[in-house]
Structure formats: structure tokens, C-alpha cells
Amino acid sequence: MRPALPSLTESLGRWEHALMAGDADTYSGQVASRWTRVGGRRVHVRVSTHPVPPEALTVVLVHGLVVSSRYMVPTLLRLAPTCRVLAPDLPGFGRSDPPSRPPESMSGLADAMAEWMEAAGLERAVFLGNSLGCQTLADFAARYPERTVGLVLQGPTMDAEARSVHQQVWRWLSNSQRERSAQMPLLVHDYWEAGLRRFLDSFRMALKDRIEDKLPRVQAPTLVVRGARDPIVPQRWAERVTALLPRGRLAVIPGGTHTLNFAAPLELVRVVEPFLRELQAGAERTPHA
């Protein structure tokens, strides 16, 4: 399997180049790589280079289980004309350096994100996460409310009534049949880079995490977004997540799957943009927001 990796990486590089050029010529050159030193280690961040006014919201995209921010690029491109968008690779994923010790809970990932924000000089932001990224954000927002302007939880895991390896693997396999085929090279590449041990440790950590205990402590306005064809996040669970949030609301995208950020970025951004406008209006009315 290892001898085939260079050709896979080369193919992925060509795919990512085409993706970064966008599905329209106007997106060409609007994604760049940046690096931030955090405690002696490098954190890789994909950033939008589209010019935006100084008062534009900053939106941070948070990736899911074992993958990198690469699959967040379609959403980044859609948000770039109106927001300052950053998509970090969490420590040990994508191009970021691994931590000295792998996190044992979602709090470890949330703390790593707070440390990156501090090093990058980023005081507050709106956060949009997918899948496991939602678990990271729930922990982050509950413990770092001063840094959280608002949240978008797209496909939040883990369903409390399906917290087992068997149920989650079955749901993941069911969903994989519905996602865009172009996503598979990204997943294979990111899983390969992370390694089996990292994958298993992260999966166990995600299963143990009780996001339902943290959601009531999230005070920021939160939009929950579900794809109507997402078997990993059934409607019942999406409604429960929303009900647990003090300031939550739910949007369902017809025909959508689990990774709307990659498979249906236009539809995702269409439901997110009104929410962002509300947050922007609130920030303009609040001193030092």
C-alpha cells in the first residue's frame, strides 16, 4: 500500500489545486497556507485571501474526525467574499505538527484551539464545525465563552442513543454511499497521514464524549444544520441538540448528507449567511465585540 501513496498524493495535489481554483474563475488564488507557532510547534491554517472590510466577521472552520481542513475549502470559498475565513488543521492532523501527547478528551482539542487563537492574535470568532468538529466546539464554547461570537454545528456527533462502535461504523458506511465520490481521496489521504493509532484513539475519544452535557452551557447563539439524508445525525438527535442549547435553532437542508461543508457548500452557506448577518448586527451594537 505504501508504494502507491506518492501517486495518490500527486493526484490529491492536482485535485486540491483545481478545488482551490474554485468552481468558478472568480475563486482563483483565494486560499493560502499560513503557519502559526504554538508552544514550539507549527499549526497549519488555510485562509481566505479575498479582500473584506475591517468590520467583517472572522469565521473559523473546524474539521472532523482524523481529517484535515482540506475538505473545508469548498465552504471557505463560499464564505470568503463576505467573511475573514480561517481553517486550521488541529494538532496532529493534516499539516500541523503533532502534540507532545495526544489529547485524551475533547477538552484537549478545545484547549489547543484556544492556544492557537492566542498565538495568532485572534480574540473572538464565529466557529463552524462538522461532525467531531462540533464536539470540539461545544467543549470550546462552554469553557471559552469570551472567545465565541457564535457557533454553527453542522452534523453534530455523537448521537447519545447510538454511542457504540457498531452503530457508528454502520451509520458511517451508510453515509459514505451518499457522499460525493470526490471526497474519498481526501479521506484516504488524511487517514493515511494520521495513522491507524491516531484514528482509533480519536474515535474512542469521540465516542466517550458526552456533548449533551456541554450543550446547556453554551451561551453563544448557535445554528444547528443537518442534511436531511444524514444517517449519522438523525432528525431526532438534531432536534435534541438544538433543544439543549440555550440559544439554538435548527436548519435542515433537503437532500443533504453528513459533510455539507464539502458536498453542498452553496446550500450550507445559504442557510448560514442570515445567521452571520444577525451576529454581525449584534457585534456592531455591542462595545468591544
- pLDDT for 14: 47
- pLDDT for 286: 62
- pLDDT for 118: 97
- pLDDT for 140: 98
Residue environment code for 151-172, b if the CB has 16+ CB neighbours within 10 A, otherwise e? bbbbbbbbbeebeeeeebeebe
- pLDDT for 199: 73
Mean pLDDT by 10 residues, the chain (289 residues): 42 46 48 92 94 94 89 95 95 86 84 96 97 96 98 96 88 79 69 70 86 98 97 97 98 96 96 96 65
- pLDDT for 198: 74
- pLDDT for 3: 39
- pLDDT for 78: 95
pTM of the model: 0.86
Q: Backbone phi, then psi, for 280, in 5-degree steps? A: -60, -45
Contact 267, 253 (CB under 8 A): yes
- pLDDT for 123: 96
3-class state of residue 43 by DSSP: strand
